[in-house]
Amino acid sequence: MRKLALHWQIIIALVLATVTGLIFSPDSAIFGIRFYAVFDFIGTLFLNALKMIIVPLVVASLITGIAGIGGGKGLGRLGAKSLLFYMTSSLLAILTGLFLVNLFNPGIIDGQAAKNVLGLSADAVATVESKVGGKDTSDIAGVFLSMVPTNVVAAAANGQMLGLIFFSIVFGYFMTRISEPYAESQFNFWQGLFEVMMKITEWVMRFAPIGVYALVAKVVMNTGLGAFKPLAVFFITVLFALLIHFLIILPMLMKLLTGLNPVRHFKAMAPALLTAFSTSSSAATLPLTMECVEKNAGVSNRTSSFVLPLGATVNMDGTALYECVAALFIAQAYGLELSLTTQFTVVVVALLTSIGVAAIPSASLVAISIILATIGLPAEGIGLILAVDRVLDMCRTAVNIFSDSCGAVIIAHSEGEEGLLTGEKQA
Ligand code: ASP
């Protein structure tokens, strides 16, 4: 009997998880064992396994990738192309969000600023404080400062990806500048490490359907459907904007720049997209993103090992879009006049902060608090969106990694790579 493709297994897990989550409440138990606790355990185990792979995979893939590119010219060209793609796609995403938030005005309910209608519970304010603390615009500078880590081991231990990426790029670059026997043994070592990490990824991926089932059942149990009603217009605005970016703008960009068939790319990326959706973390999904981009989409290791780890950290289209819509929704809800200057400020700060947002669940909230501070609103405003944040996080994370993968294909094509999205390299 033919084995069901991984993405189908994950889709079935998603459906079953939604049904389970709707049937049971967080307190449901059998023989005194709470389902919620079991799902939490299994989901965390799966997430831990994915996270375990990240540091060695990112370091090894970047070092071998950069060393493979060799000279400064190739690296400069690849870097410039990647940054151009990241900026363009994120900006397009933000502008889509900006357009829709102005069209739907989710923060205005029956002609009134929604703050009064929705109310802010003391609970929500406390959660906001614990999640985002007192952030302001000076934190943007902090993000860029952490690019050069004082201690690379600490950066790895604390998941400071930007610092780790910077170190790996510099290491890979200078590895090609040392004498032959050392350079070769270094290269073999890092290449070997990279291959081992990819094998571990393949192995962890086999558990994806179970992990996804547990993670999603937990979210559905927690959130239920009630939370969506008062925030329905906001929810739909974000979802609609994300869908436009995901289904129209990115595929069009890809078709225009490469002539390749975007439908094939959706198919190639399906397991990674579904995992991003279930885990709400681009970082945790990175191993799968690399696996799908290399094995299914046929992008070379040279390109993907540079574009993807960097992209997972700095290129977050879904996040940038969400930040813009959420900040303007809160501003509308507080009755703030949305002048052109305010909107422009939101666009720029959303673009900058999306670069620094950590690739973990709910990380956008910190960035949104920075935007709110910039336009003169209190951080408690975030309390308005908390109820639906988790589900929207799932959607924006999938968009984040889809954008990275489109970038990898577009850049690979521009570098003259052949056999992209032909299905030939499919596992
Ligand atoms: N969860 C998102 C990610 O990992 C970041 C965010 O928007 O909160 O890509």
Residue 424 lies in a domain: no
CA of 410 to the centre of ligand 1 (A): 23
- Angstrom distance (rounded) from CA 382 to CA 389: 10
- Provide the pLDDT for residue 158: 84
- Please identify, by atom number, the ligand 1 atom nearest to the C-alpha of residue 359: 4
- 289 Cβ inside 6 Å of ligand 1: no
Q: Which residue range forms the structural domain that includes residue 65?
A: 6-414
The single-letter DSSP state of residue 3 is P
- Provide the pLDDT for residue 1: 54
- Provide the pLDDT for residue 427: 39
At residue 34, the 3 state secondary structure works out as strand
Burial class for 103, CB neighbours closer than 10 Å (0-12, 13-18, 19+): exposed
- Angstrom distance (rounded) from CA 279 to CA 354: 19
Tokens of 349: 């700060």
Alpha carbon dihedral 225, 271, 257, 418, in 10-degree steps, equals: 180
- 363 Cβ inside 6 Å of ligand 1: yes
Residue 420 lies in a domain: no
CA nearest to 368, candidates 161, 160, 142, 136? 136
Tokens of 90: 């994120």
- Spell 175-185 as b/e; 16+ CB within 10 A means b: bbeeeeeeeee
At residue 29, the 3 state secondary structure works out as strand
- Provide the pLDDT for residue 243: 98
- Please identify, by atom number, the ligand 1 atom nearest to the C-alpha of residue 360: 4
| 309, 82 Cβ separation under 8 angstroms | no
Residue 427 lies in a domain: no
Residue 103 lies in a domain: yes
- 325 Cβ inside 6 Å of ligand 1: no
Q: What are phi and psi of 203, to 5 degrees?
A: -70, -45
Residue 368 lies in a domain: yes
The residue to mutate among 355, 357, 369, having the most atoms of ligand 1 within 8 angstroms of its beta carbon, is 357
- 361 Cβ inside 6 Å of ligand 1: yes
Q: Give the C-alpha distances (Å, rounded to integers) separating 194 from 56, 197, 202.
A: 8, 5, 13
- Provide the pLDDT for residue 415: 92
The single-letter DSSP state of residue 416 is T
Residue 314 lies in a domain: yes
Looking at ligand 1, which residue's alpha carbon is closest to its atom 1? 361
Q: Give the C-alpha distances (Å, rounded to integers) separating 353 from 112, 321, 379, 383.
A: 30, 11, 16, 20
At residue 256, the 3 state secondary structure works out as helix
CA of 391 to the centre of ligand 1 (A): 11
Cα-Cα end-to-end distance for the chain: 18
Helix axes 364-374, 138-145, angle to 10 degrees: 140
Q: Which helix (H) or strand (E) holds 376?
A: none
Residue 423 lies in a domain: no
Rg (CA), the chain: 22
Q: Give the C-alpha distances (Å, rounded to integers) separating 345 from 94, 372, 383.
A: 12, 10, 22
| 115, 384 Cβ separation under 8 angstroms | yes
Q: Are strands 29-30 and 33-34 parallel, antiparallel or unpaired?
A: antiparallel
Tokens of 395: 């959607």
CA nearest to 273, candidates 90, 421, 391, 396? 396
| 172, 62 Cβ separation under 8 angstroms | yes
Contacts of 144 (CB under 8 A, 6+ apart): 356
Looking at this protein, which amino acid is placed at residue 101?
V
Q: Can you list the alpha helix ranges (DSSP code H) found in 224-316?
A: 232-244, 250-258, 262-279, 282-291, 301-314
SS3 labels along 111-168: CEEHHHHHCCCHHHHHHHHHHHCCCCCHHHHHHHHCCCCCCHHHHHHCCCHHHHHHHH
At residue 33, the 3 state secondary structure works out as strand
Other C-beta atoms closer than 10 Å to the C-beta of 88 total 13
Number of domains making up the chain: 1
CA nearest to 159, candidates 45, 44, 309? 309
CA of 47 to the centre of ligand 1 (A): 15
pTM of the model: 0.83
- Angstrom distance (rounded) from CA 216 to CA 21: 8
Burial class for 139, CB neighbours closer than 10 Å (0-12, 13-18, 19+): middle
- 285 Cβ inside 6 Å of ligand 1: no
- 360 Cβ inside 6 Å of ligand 1: yes
- 96 Cβ inside 6 Å of ligand 1: no
Tokens of 426: 């499919």
pLDDT tens digits for range 332-343: 988 888 888 889
Residue 187 lies in a domain: yes
CA of 192 to the centre of ligand 1 (A): 30
- Angstrom distance (rounded) from CA 205 to CA 285: 10
Which segments of the chain have a pLDDT < 50?
Answer: 121-122, 425-427
- 396 Cβ inside 6 Å of ligand 1: yes
Q: What is the CATH number of the domain that holds 358?
A: 1.10.3860
Tokens of 293: 């981009």
- Angstrom distance (rounded) from CA 381 to CA 12: 37
Q: Which helix (H) or strand (E) holds 360?
A: none
- Please identify, by atom number, the ligand 1 atom nearest to the C-alpha of residue 318: 7
